[in-house]
């Protein structure tokens, strides 16, 4: 074996081994710090690309979920308003029945008509305020609502249900005498049927939105789990690797020190 102070093969080998150990230790520490086995394309290009595509899908699902939540709120407001209007119409029907009997004096008709008119004004107030995020499904000028339901652009259409006093044809009804009260009773009875049908339509649409929202949430969870299976680190394994790498690093440092001390034995040849 040639002995030289210019070249130290043992130190070279020890240094290469130590550098390799240091790189492994750095990667292990990074995985523990981030919790990810694949932190970038350098770690695993194919897996990273797949995971990024799935993350894009998850972001799209989150946007869809937001739109579905907004749609749920709009429809819920319309349904609650419709139920309140139906309750008012039932009260108005009771007043109409009371006023349709003959023999009441003028003061009674006046009182009943005032209550009837007040209830109708409340119907209009509810219709005007049944708005969420700028959308009103039950007003006279309302339009259909298209709710984004999938990342590919599919939508759930909620059909408008105009149930204002004019559309229900009760805006001119009065209870000033038994004859007009009978006419008002007929109009109010039909209005109750119309509102009930409107609520049925809104309820059906709300159910569709709820089902799609629940499915989207489950699908998002599945995608997140899939990404985790691809890129998440096994922290128990990484912890064991960290301890092993730290020991190897210490041994490598000692081996390098021993190798570097080798050329000093050359001095003994000249003593």
Residue 158, pLDDT score? 95
155 contacts 167 by C-beta, under 8 angstroms: no
For 238, other C-beta atoms within 10 Å of its C-beta total: 19
What 3-state DSSP class applies to 7? Answer: coil
Residue 93, pLDDT score? 95
Distance CA 79, CA 137 (A): 9
Among 85, 86, 94, 90, smallest CA distance to 175 is for 94
Lookup: tokens for 143: 């339009």
With 0-12 CB in 10 A as exposed, 13-18 as middle and 19+ as buried, what is 178? middle
Residue 13, pLDDT score? 86
Distance CA 5, CA 263 (A): 6
User: Which CATH number does the domain 61-230 belong to among 1.20.1330.10, 1.10.3720.10, 2.40.70.10, 3.10.270.10?
Assistant: 1.20.1330.10
- Each residue's pLDDT tens digit, 188-238: 999 999 999 999 999 999 999 999 999 999 999 999 999 999 998 888 888
Q: Enter the DSSP assignment of 232.
A: B
- Half-sphere exposure in the Cβ direction for 128 (13 Å, CA): 8
With 0-12 CB in 10 A as exposed, 13-18 as middle and 19+ as buried, what is 160? buried
11 contacts 259 by C-beta, under 8 angstroms: yes
- The mean-pLDDT minimum among 58-72, 168-182, 239-253 falls in 239-253
- Each residue's pLDDT tens digit, 77-94: 999 999 999 999 999 999
Question: Which residue spans within the chain are E strands per DSSP?
Answer: 145-148, 155-158
Distance CA 100, CA 183 (A): 9
Lookup: tokens for 141: 């000028």
Q: Enter the DSSP assignment of 269.
A: G
Q: Enter the DSSP assignment of 168.
A: T
- Each residue's pLDDT tens digit, 129-154: 999 989 999 998 889 999 999 999 99
195 contacts 168 by C-beta, under 8 angstroms: yes
C-alpha distance from residue 114 to each of 99, 131, 220 (Å): 12, 28, 55
Lookup: tokens for 185: 């009773």
Q: How confident is the model at residue 271 (pLDDT cuts 50, 70, 90)?
A: low
Q: How confident is the model at residue 43 (pLDDT cuts 50, 70, 90)?
A: confident
Among 187, 133, 130, smallest CA distance to 160 is for 130
Residue 60, pLDDT score? 95
Residue 2, pLDDT score? 62
Residue 11, pLDDT score? 81
């Amino acid at each position: 074996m040639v002995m030289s102070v210019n070249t130290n093969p043992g130190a070279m080998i020890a240094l290469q081994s130590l550098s390799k150990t240091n790189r492994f230790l750095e990667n292990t520490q990074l995985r523990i710090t981030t919790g990810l086995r694949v932190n970038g394309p350098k770690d695993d290009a194919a897996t990273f690309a797949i995971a990024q595509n799935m993350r894009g899908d998850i972001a799209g699902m989150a946007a869809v979920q937001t739109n579905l939540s907004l749609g749920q709120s709009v429809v819920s407001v319309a349904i609650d308003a419709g139920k309140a209007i139906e309750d008012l119409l039932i009260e108005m029907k009771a007043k109409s029945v009371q006023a349709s009997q003959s023999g009441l004096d003028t003061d009674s008709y006046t009182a009943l008509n005032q209550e009837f008119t007040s209830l109708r004004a409340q119907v209009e107030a509810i219709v005007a305020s049944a708005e969420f995020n700028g959308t009103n499904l039950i007003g006279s000028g309302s339009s259909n609502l298209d709710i984004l339901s999938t990342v590919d652009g599919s939508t759930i259409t909620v059909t408008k249900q105009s149930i204002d006093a004019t559309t229900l044809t009760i805006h001119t009804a009065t209870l000033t005498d038994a004859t007009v009260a009978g006419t008002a009773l007929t109009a109010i009875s039909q209005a109750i049927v119309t509102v009930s049908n409107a609520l049925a339509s809104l309820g059906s649409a709300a159910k569709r939105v709820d089902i799609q929202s629940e499915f989207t949430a489950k699908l998002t969870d599945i995608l997140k789990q899939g990404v985790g299976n691809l890129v998440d680190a096994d922290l128990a394994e990484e912890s064991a690797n960290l301890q092993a790498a730290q020991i190897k690093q210490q041994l490598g440092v000692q081996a390098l020190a021993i190798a570097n001390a080798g050329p000093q034995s050359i001095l003994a040849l000249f003593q």
